[in-house]
Amino acid sequence: MAEERKSKPESLTIWPDAQAMIEKARRDGVKTVWDRMAEQRPACKFCKEGLTCSKCVMGPCRITPGRAKRQRGTCGADADLTVARNFGRFVAAGAAAHSDHGRDLVETLLAVGRGKTRDYALRDPEKLRQVACEAGLDITGKDDATLAVELAQAFIQDFGFGTETLSFLSRVPEKRRAVWERHGVTPRGVDRDVVEMLHRTHMGVDCDPVSICLHAARVALTDGWGGSMIATETSDIIFGTPTPRESLVNLGVLKEDQVNVLVHGHSPIVSEMILAAARDPAMIEKARAVGAAGINVAGLCCTGNEVLMRQGVPMAGNHLMTELAIITGAVDLIVVDYQCIMPSLTAVAACYQTRFVSTSDKARFPGGTHMEFTLENARQKALEVVAMGIEAYTNRQPERVEIPGEPVRFMTGFSNEAILGALGGTPGPLIEAIKAGKVRGAVGIVGCNNPRLKHDHVHTVLCRELIKKDILVLVTGCATVAMGKAGLMVPEAADQAGPGLSEVCRALGVPPVLHVGSCVDNSRIIHLCAVLANALGVDISDLPVAASAPEWYSEKAATIGLYAVASGIMTHLGLPPHITGSDMVTNLALEGLEGVLGAHFVVEPDPVAAANIIDARITAKRQALGLTP
């Protein structure tokens, strides 16, 4: 540990702002994620390879494949089954998280439609109508409120098991649906398939590792084309469909002379209210009264992405920056909803004047202040929360404040509507650019940070390599902050792209790396792929596209990766899930799924090597379509 403590900040992260804050943390005596990881080394080999099982009290068991002893757990499960069961639950939890987030949006939509809340509205009624049509509703003669209720009810059906299909399967190319039908992985109910995975992985239920893995694919698809897509589209209906705009990124967005409020988590439901409260003239007046120049709201992680996409709120950082942002000493209040909020944050906040406020009954944080937000009280609660931030500002200790670096400009807001809008309303021009080889293909770079990898190194190197090869990059989640800080998300970054992509970007005035949203918004990427595939009359797996989660850490990210693969998109991971204890499951992921679902996973920590693998895939797909490589 002492040794690990000495890890140079430059070896942990590529960013000067992060390095400076790691140094400050050490000076301030604050532990960070890297310190805890160092203490956790070496990790348990059994757990790392997916070979432990605590799913009953006949155990716990550990499997040692190939050895004389412990080839099977007490129940008789071997390495393949144990790994598959663990992976199945891992994916189910990811789907559950996204989908339960989607559920909250559906409840909001229902409440708006029924007039049960005054704090939320339908900012994009046009999208409401369009999505309602896609969900198979008859919209004629119906007002927005009625339609909101009916759409919410359709989505509620999607979560249940009373229907045979999900609303958004209408978007899926026919060839893809046939693949799913053939292998029994057509998603059914969002909650049902998740619950069935828990059932299957209970002792003595599904004992076939392949069967469990295929159901994992189905569960993932309920996320991508169900829970996540419902979350995205409903968020757009309620909070507005994003349009391109500019903002700023890195810790430099914090302001020494303002009340700094960070929003963190994944949902726009609370953060939009916080933003509105911070923009309230009375609150700004209140802030001025205590000597602040104003109230500065900035984002972290995906809640940050949500308000960035729709409101242009600057972004303070991604997953590994969340502790470091507080360590600046300049954050007066951090308000969270749920997901990816390190349990350590309350302890870090306690080292400064920072108030930590949780807002959802599902996500309480001992050591923080819990302010339960409901659809009825949200606006009022948000005012109270922001007032807490103003009060905390008065306790700020200037000598402990250090805001590193200058913020970097970046563009955001590239919803599919915005992308297609910029192309004149149809995917035609993009398809032409792809056919002409100017845009050779597209890759979604998504997902988290992981302290096991040098922070944002894999993200940024991979991204630079891809755009050089005329491959358009779409980013979501934590990858956004990486590429933004790297200066790749401004139109001038066209300079760093290959000649074809550069030309297209210049013509449209867009960056070679487009921000499409938060992690539930990966649903925008598969939707766009479906639009392209439908326009071409092919399967998604025929497109020259790929996905990558270079620095992923979470169960959600695994689920996203699997729904990408199950949708026909080869997916790169910078490090493997806990499956390496089973050759069968590992081979299925890395090879076998190609034959079943037309795509597979690639695990490659080296970003240059990963870029080459992705490039080869895109070349092959182009050639199969009869295009130039």
Query: Which residues inside 561-580 make contact with its own copies, applying CB under 8 A?
Result: 575-578
Interaction of residue 162 with its own copies, rule CB under 8 A? yes
148 alpha carbon, distance to own chain's centre: 26
Give the shortest CB-106-to-its own copies separation in angstroms.
8
187 is a site residue for its own copies (CB under 8 A): no
> CA-to-CA distance for 571 and 564, rounded, in angstroms?
7
160 contacts its own copies (rule: CB under 8 A): yes
Q: How far apart are CA 44 and CA 51, in angstroms?
A: 10
Binding-residue total with its own copies (CB under 8 A): 101
**According to the binding rule CB under 8 A, does residue 555 interact with its own copies?**
yes
Distance CA 338, CA 348 (A): 18
Tokens 């993932």 belong to: 220
User: Does position 364 bind its own copies by CB under 8 A?
Assistant: yes
Residue 60 in contact with its own copies, rule: CB under 8 A: yes
One residue of 24, 176, 192, 464 binding its own copies per CB under 8 A: 192
Residue in 23, 28, 78, 583 binding its own copies, rule: CB under 8 A: 78
600 binds its own copies (CB under 8 A): no
Which of 54, 66, 289, 595: binder of its own copies (CB under 8 A)?
54
Asked if 361 is part of the footprint of its own copies (rule: CB under 8 A), the reply reads yes
In whole angstroms, give the CA distance from residue 296 to residue 247: 13
Q: Compute the least distance from the CB of residue 258 to its own copies, in Å.
A: 27
**Min separation Cβ 216 and its own copies, Å:** 13
CB of 81 to its own copies, least distance (A): 6
Rounded-to-10 torsion of CA 301, 302, 307, 313: 20
Q: Which is nearer to its own copies, 381 or 578 (CB)?
A: 578
Q: How far is CA 300 from the centre of its chain?
A: 12
39, 257, 384, 432: which one binds its own copies (CB under 8 A): 39
Residues 267-286 that bind its own copies (CB under 8 A): none
Q: How far is CA 506 from CA 484, 498, 499, 585, in A?
A: 18, 12, 10, 44
Name residue, tokens 């989505």: 155
**In the complex, what is the shortest distance from the CB of residue 34 to its own copies, in angstroms, rounded to a whole number?**
9
| Sites for its own copies among residues 458-497 (CB under 8 A) | none
Nearest C-alpha neighbor of 307 from the set 350, 267, 354:
267
Identified binder of its own copies from the candidate list 61, 349, 494, 497, rule CB under 8 A: 61
The sign of the CA dihedral 544, 547, 496, 306 is positive
Among positions 242-271, residues that touch its own copies (CB under 8 A) are 265
* Closest to its own copies by CB, 360 or 412: 360
Minimum CB–partner distance for residue 500 and its own copies (Å): 35
When binding is defined by CB under 8 A, the residue of 120, 168, 338, 414 that contacts its own copies is 338
Per-residue buried b or exposed e for 603-616, using 16+ beta carbons within 10 Å of the residue's own CB: bbbebeebbebbbe
Q: Which secondary structure element, helix H or strand E, spans residue 299, and what is its range?
A: strand 295-300
Q: Which is nearer to its own copies, 32 or 480 (CB)?
A: 32
Sheet of strand 259-264: strand arrangement: 369-370, 355-358, 333-336, 259-264, 295-300, 315-317, 245-249, 408-412
In the complex, least distance from residue 159 CB atom to its own copies, rounded to whole angstroms: 6
**From the CB of 623, what's the least distance to its own copies, in Å?**
34
Buried/exposed code over 253-278 (b: 16+ C-beta within 10 A; e: otherwise): bbbeebbbbbbbbbbbbbbbbbbbbb
Query: How would DSSP label each residue in 382-438?
Result: HHHHHHHHHHHHTT--GGG----S--EEEEE---HHHHHHHTTSSSHHHHHHHHTTS
All residues at 6 or more sequence positions from 529 whose CB lies less than 8 Å from its CB, including other chains: 540, 543, 545, 567, 568, 569
Residues 90-129 within binding reach of its own copies (CB under 8 A): 90, 92-94, 96-97, 99-101, 103
Of the candidate spans 61-69, 414-422, 515-523, 604-612, the one that interacts with its own copies by CB under 8 A turns out to be 61-69
Backbone φ and ψ of 569, nearest 5°: -110, 120
Residue 91 or 611: which CB sits closer to its own copies? 91
Binding residues for its own copies restricted to 199-218, rule: CB under 8 A: 199-209, 211, 215
- Hey, which residues between 427 and 456 contact its own copies (CB under 8 A)? 450-452
Cis amide linkage into residue 42, ω under 30° from 0: yes
Region binding its own copies by CB under 8 A among candidate stretches 117-125, 183-191, 269-277, 437-445: 183-191
Q: Out of 19, 86, 241, 267, point to the residue binding its own copies (CB under 8 A).
A: 86
Q: Verify binding: residue 371, its own copies, rule CB under 8 A.
A: no
Question: Could you say which of 7, 16, 28, 59 contacts its own copies (CB under 8 A)?
Answer: 59
Q: Does 6 bind its own copies (CB under 8 A)?
A: no
